[in-house]
């Protein structure tokens, strides 16, 4: 059904030239990094909070779906407008409104790119910890809506731990603020944390007050290789079981190393598994920190342990991790990219269980990721239709294994379109019902990002 003329006229009056219904814009905003695809009927580019309120009001009046979008880099189909309607792209609402070192906060619009914010904060000796590897392209709004993170989360947390407050527009079209400008707050329900990770299904975020952290002045990088994944996973549990928290603790399995080695050459070592470990702090504290994590990294199955002496050497040690994404795409453009998470102490059981499932389903699976959080990117790499079918069967077993290990479906990518059918595996019926009621309270007509996050 085309959009009603009255709605189109309202969009023109709110957005003028920033409302589009032409085929080029509809095509460009039909997809995201999931490679799913569905065209919206219109694309608008808000720049002010008041426009967002008017937009939601108009869509609600006509019961038309409305999907918020940052830069479309999510992996789960979260921005694909599966029921058509309007896409609101926040890319032009991208001002840093305030940097406030005394209160260790910054106030930003949702379309600010993560890396641009980090650049603006650097002269103040501060940073915002969430560091997805997509930081040069992804927006703060997208980071908040997915609770996106990266290697630093093991020490500094995710957007949920690094956001003080939000301004937003609910699906009712009411604008509201939640949270604080203070580092403490005990005033009612924590709607800030509720909106973070809600994937644009409850409200559209128009402003965020982010908590800032002093940037450590020094960092040391270590690389350890192990006989097998089990030995590396045991080392992760030992490292996280001692008092020095690394600021990165990344895991790469043998299959991933072989792929990266084939792609990037001898900079990438061949081993049963590899850990990248980083510690940060003031220079005087780092020797003791390196000694503590090195002691924990040593143990049965350790083959090599190397500490980088220079920045250049540290960059070379990271070569394996950096080569992984392009290496996988070359052999399996249709890779299935999951980001399951288990308690750190269950990591050995997870990595060994995944190896068993890969063998049983005869599918190439590579595992790597943020082991310090128990968060593994489990990538299934089917190369043809038969392998794709086996990969989907394998995926269901991977999720069942994760749940049996007290883990959950996603550590940072979110649920989106792709994983919502698995939500009943992870959550009890009562929990899901309560989530449905929360959704109805914010968005009674179900116009915000329909077909996402909650199961049908």
Ligand X SMILES: Cc1cc2nc3c(=O)[nH]c(=O)nc-3n(C[C@H](O)[C@H](O)[C@H](O)COP(=O)(O)OP(=O)(O)OC[C@H]3O[C@@H](n4cnc5c(N)ncnc54)[C@H](O)[C@@H]3O)c2cc1C
Environment class of 370 (CB within 10 Å of its CB; exposed 0-12, middle 13-18, buried 19+): buried
Closer residue to ligand X (CB): 248 or 402: 248
Please answer whether residues 144 and 110 qualify as being in contact, where contact means their C-beta atoms are separated by less than 8 angstroms.
yes
Q: Quick check: 382 and 363 in contact, CB under 8 A? A: yes
DSSP secondary structure letters along 48-62: SHHHHHHHHHHHHHT
- CB nearer to ligand X: pick between 134 and 307: 134
Q: Is 259 exposed, middle or buried (0-12, 13-18, 19+ CB in 10 A)?
A: buried
Print the binding letters for residues 139-158 with ligand X: x by CB under 6 A, - otherwise. x-xxx-xx-xxx--------
**How many CB atoms within 10 Å of residue 369?**
27
162 binds ligand X (CB under 6 A): no
Distance separating alpha carbons of residues 393 and 400, to the nearest angstrom: 11
Q: Which stretch binds ligand X (CB under 6 A): 75-83, 172-180, 226-234, 246-254?
A: 75-83
Strand ordering across the sheet containing 365-370: 302-307, 218-226, 273-281, 248-253, 365-370, 375-380, 336-341
Q: Does 454 bind ligand X (CB under 6 A)?
A: no
Angle ∠(436,438,440) on CA atoms, nearest 5 = 70
Instruction: Pull the structure tokens for residue 293.
Output: 């994590």
Which residue carries 């990165």 as its tokens?
248
Q: Which of 6, 13, 133, 315 touches ligand X (CB under 6 A)?
A: 133
CB nearer to ligand X: pick between 139 and 255: 139
Residue 328 touches ligand X, criterion: CB under 6 A: no
Distance CA 63, CA 85 (A): 9
Pick one of 74, 328, 375, 379: the residue that binds ligand X (CB under 6 A). 74
Which CB sits closer to ligand X, 67 or 162?
67
Residue in 3, 11, 15, 32 binding ligand X, rule: CB under 6 A: 32
The Cα–Cα gap between 250 and 322 comes to 12
DSSP state of 222: E
* Shortest distance (Å) from residue 241 CB to ligand X: 25
Q: SS3 of 275, please?
A: strand
Distance of closest approach, residue 248 Cβ to ligand X, in angstroms: 11
Least distance in angstroms from the C-beta of 168 to ligand X: 7
| Count of positions on this chain that bind ligand X (CB under 6 A) | 35
Among 65, 77, 81, 132, indicate the residue that binds ligand X (CB under 6 A): 132
Residues 6+ apart with CB under 8 A from 249: 151, 154, 236, 239, 240, 275, 276, 277, 278, 370, 371, 372
| Contact of 112 with 95, CB cutoff 8 Å | yes
Site for ligand X, residues 263 to 292, rule: CB under 6 A: none
301 touches ligand X by CB under 6 A: no
Among 40, 65, 72, 165, binds ligand X (CB under 6 A): 72
Tell me the backbone φ, ψ of residue 28, rounded to 5 degrees. Answer: -65, -30
Of 100-108, 116-124, 200-208, 326-334: span binding ligand X (CB under 6 A): 200-208
Give the count of beta carbons closer than 10 Å to the beta carbon of residue 86: 27
Token pair 């453009």: residue: 333
Candidates 77, 85, 110, 246; binder of ligand X (CB under 6 A) is: 110
- Under the binding rule (CB under 6 A), the answer on residue 217 touching ligand X is no
Task: Determine which residue in the list 43, 59, 66, 73 makes contact with ligand X, applying CB under 6 A.
Answer: 73
Of the pair 205, 347, the CB lying nearest ligand X is at 205
One character per residue 33-52, x = contact with ligand X (rule: CB under 6 A) = x-------------------
Interacting residues with ligand X between 361 and 420 (CB under 6 A): 412-413
Nearest to 112 by CA among 98, 134, 127, 95: 95
CB 123, min distance to ligand X, A: 24
**Piece of 1-9, 18-26, 136-144, 425-433 that binds ligand X (CB under 6 A):** 136-144
Chosen residue from 205, 257, 276, 327 binding ligand X by CB under 6 A = 205
Under the rule (CB under 6 A), what is the footprint of ligand X?
32-33, 67-75, 78-79, 90, 110, 132-134, 138-139, 141-143, 145-146, 148-150, 199-200, 204-205, 412-413, 449
């Amino acid at each position: 059904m085309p959009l009603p003329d009255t709605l189109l006229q309202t969009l023109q009056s709110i957005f003028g030239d920033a409302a589009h219904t032409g085929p080029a814009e509809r095509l460009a905003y039909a997809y995201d990094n999931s490679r799913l695809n569905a065209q919206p009927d219109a694309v608008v580019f808000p720049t002010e909070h008041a426009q967002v309120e008017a937009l939601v009001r108009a869509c609600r009046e006509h019961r038309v779906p409305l999907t918020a979008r940052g830069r479309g880099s999510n992996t789960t189909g979260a921005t694909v407008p599966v029921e058509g309607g309007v896409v609101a792209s926040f890319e032009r609402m991208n001002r840093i409104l305030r940097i406030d070192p005394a209160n260790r906060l910054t106030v930003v619009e949702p379309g600010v790119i993560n890396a641009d914010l980090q650049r603006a904060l650097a002269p103040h000796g501060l940073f915002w910890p969430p560091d997805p590897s997509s930081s040069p392209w992804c927006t703060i709004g997208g980071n908040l809506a997915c609770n996106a993170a990266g290697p630093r989360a093991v020490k500094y947390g995710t957007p949920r731990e690094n956001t003080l407050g939000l301004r937003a527009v609910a699906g009712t079209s009411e604008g509201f603020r939640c949270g604080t400008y203070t580092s403490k707050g005990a005033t009612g329900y924590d709607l800030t944390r509720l909106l973070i990770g809600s994937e644009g299904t409850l409200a559209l975020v128009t402003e965020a007050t982010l908590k800032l952290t002093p940037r450590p002045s020094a960092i040391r990088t270590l690389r350890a290789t192990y006989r097998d994944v089990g030995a590396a996973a045991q080392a992760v549990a030992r490292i996280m079981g001692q008092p020095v928290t690394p600021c990165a603790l990344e895991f790469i399995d043998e299959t991933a190393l072989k792929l990266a080695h084939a792609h990037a050459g001898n900079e990438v070592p061949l081993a049963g598994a590899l850990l990248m470990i980083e510690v940060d702090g003031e220079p005087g504290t780092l020797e003791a920190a390196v000694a503590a994590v090195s002691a924990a990294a040593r143990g049965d199955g350790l083959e090599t342990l190397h500490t980088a002496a220079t920045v250049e050497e540290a960059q070379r040690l990271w070569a394996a991790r950096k080569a992984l994404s392009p290496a996988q795409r070359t052999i399996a453009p249709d890779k299935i990219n999951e980001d399951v998470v288990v308690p750190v102490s269950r990591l050995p059981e997870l990595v060994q269980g995944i190896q068993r499932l890969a063998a049983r389903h005869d599918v190439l699976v590579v595992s790597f990721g943020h082991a310090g959080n128990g968060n593994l990117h489990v990538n299934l790499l089917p190369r043809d239709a038969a392998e794709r079918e086996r990969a989907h069967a394998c995926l269901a077993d991977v999720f069942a294994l994760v749940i049996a290990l007290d883990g959950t479906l996603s550590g940072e990518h979110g649920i989106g379109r792709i994983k919502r059918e698995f939500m009943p595996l992870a959550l009890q019926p009562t929990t899901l019902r309560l989530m449905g009621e929360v959704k109805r309270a914010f968005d009674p007509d179900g116009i915000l990002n329909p077909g996402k996050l909650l199961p049908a």
